[in-house]
Amino acid sequence: MQNQYTLTSTGRIKKIIRHPFAGFVLIGVILISLQLIAILSGGAWPKSSMLNGFASVMIYAIVGYGFTYLLGYAGLASLGTAGFVGLGAYITAYVLRNMPGVPYIAVILGTLLISLILGTIVGFISLRIEGIFLAIVTLGLCEIFYQLFSNWLDFTNGPNGASISKYPIFQTFFNMSRRDAQSAFYILLVFITVGLMMLTYNLGKSSTGRAMLAMKNSSSAAQAMGISLLKYRLLAFLLSTAYAGLGGVMFMSYLRYSAPQNYTIMFSLNILAAVLIGGSRNLIGTFLGCFIVFGMTPIFLQDITLFRENPWIINVTIGAIIVMVVMVYPGGLVQLANNVKSFFKTTIADRRLYKYGTDD
């Protein structure tokens, strides 16, 4: 007789498929295999512009995961994201250009530390100001960062933009060629993205995530239940700024160029759109949202003449999708997928009922 605790092979596979991390790992495997195909085929397909597109989707997704804490869990809409990403990027550029001796991991940690210090200040502002006004105040914050990036010439090189000449670690430490370093960094980026997905998922399911959710639904009720608003709002902010700072480091390290024009209010709006479209608490949804908002143009649409000549079409569509998602479909793409799934399930069940009848 079979022990009920040992699983059959199909049961084992089912268990793996249903594991919450399966989707994350699948995305990672797909992204890495694209790079491997490119290496094996000598760059014939996927083209390097396409891979760069996927890399930037990953970078924006990292920022987006930070934003899910704010929008999805804590229910705060902040528009200061662009500033923190820019800060991360510019600190990285400055350190890598002017202090070549500093190890890359120290750059990452230093950037995170500075982001966290600034995030604490912004977090305290957020505690003083209620929901919708926060977006307005952080809009001002975003402008402060933009002015800083445009005018502090010694630090950011102003409107000309800052650039670094080599990929960090792989080109500076391992002495790889430029092409190899780019591939290696891409794979590193995949690992970071998937790792952060897992981390974000676990944090969201932990007591921290639950407390934030309670706070989102009703701050007064959450307070009455003994949840400290100060602690969790601040935590949401700190997490979001840390992710944004890391996104900035990756932005600079992979794309190796950034200008103040990158970090305008449109960047923050795009991140918000991406998180919203995907479904504000679902990480795979956020990834798909980033893919739709940031990745469609470099990956596919560049090759289509209509979209290359009229880049506004895709942006208008994104704007329309935001309106649609908020008004008609608050769950985003994930809700759409679930609805399709449940539609098939009910159809199959109905068909079975029709074919075989009920039990008696």
Binding site for other proteins (CB under 8 A): 75, 77, 124-125, 128-129, 131-133, 135-137, 139-141, 143-144, 147-148, 151, 218-221, 224, 265-266, 269, 272-273, 276, 310, 312, 315-316, 318-323, 326-327, 330
Of 33 and 261, CB closest to other proteins: 261
In 85-201, which ranges are E strands? 162-163
- Tell which residue, 272, 270, 262, 309, has the closest CA to residue 293: 270
216 vs 256, beta carbon nearer other proteins:
216
Q: Which residue has the tokens 């960090």?
A: 168
Evaluate whether 71 touches 322 at the Cβ level (below 8 Å).
no
> Least distance to other proteins from the beta carbon of 319, Å?
3
* Residue 78: CB minimum distance to other proteins, A: 11
Q: For residues 79 and 235, which CB has a smaller minimum distance to other proteins in the complex? A: 79
The distance of closest approach from Cβ of residue 192 to other proteins in the complex, given in angstroms and rounded to an integer, is 29
Sign for the pseudo-dihedral over CA of 250, 253, 256, 259:
positive
Residue type for 160, please? N
Structure tokens at 298: 């470099």
Considering the complex, what minimum distance in angstroms separates the CB of residue 155 from other proteins?
Answer: 14
Stated length of the chain: 360
**Alpha-carbon distance 259 to 215, whole Å?**
37
Report in angstroms how near the CB of residue 79 gets to other proteins at its nearest: 9
Of 18 and 128, which CB lies nearer to other proteins in the complex structure? 128
Structure tokens at 194: 């998937």
Reported in sequence order, the residue ranges of 198-306 that DSSP labels E, i.e. its strands, are 257-258
Residue 16 vs 221, nearer CB to other proteins? 221
DSSP string, 138-172: HHHHHHHHHHHHHH-HHHH-GGG-EE-SS-TTTTT
C-beta closer to other proteins: residue 1 or 328: 328
The nearer residue to other proteins, 24 or 146, going by C-beta atoms, is: 146
Ranges of beta strands (E only) in 286-332 are none
Pairing mode of beta strands 162-163, 257-258: antiparallel
> Cβ of residue 301: shortest distance to other proteins, in angstroms?
14
Closest approach, Cβ 173 to other proteins, in A, equals: 37
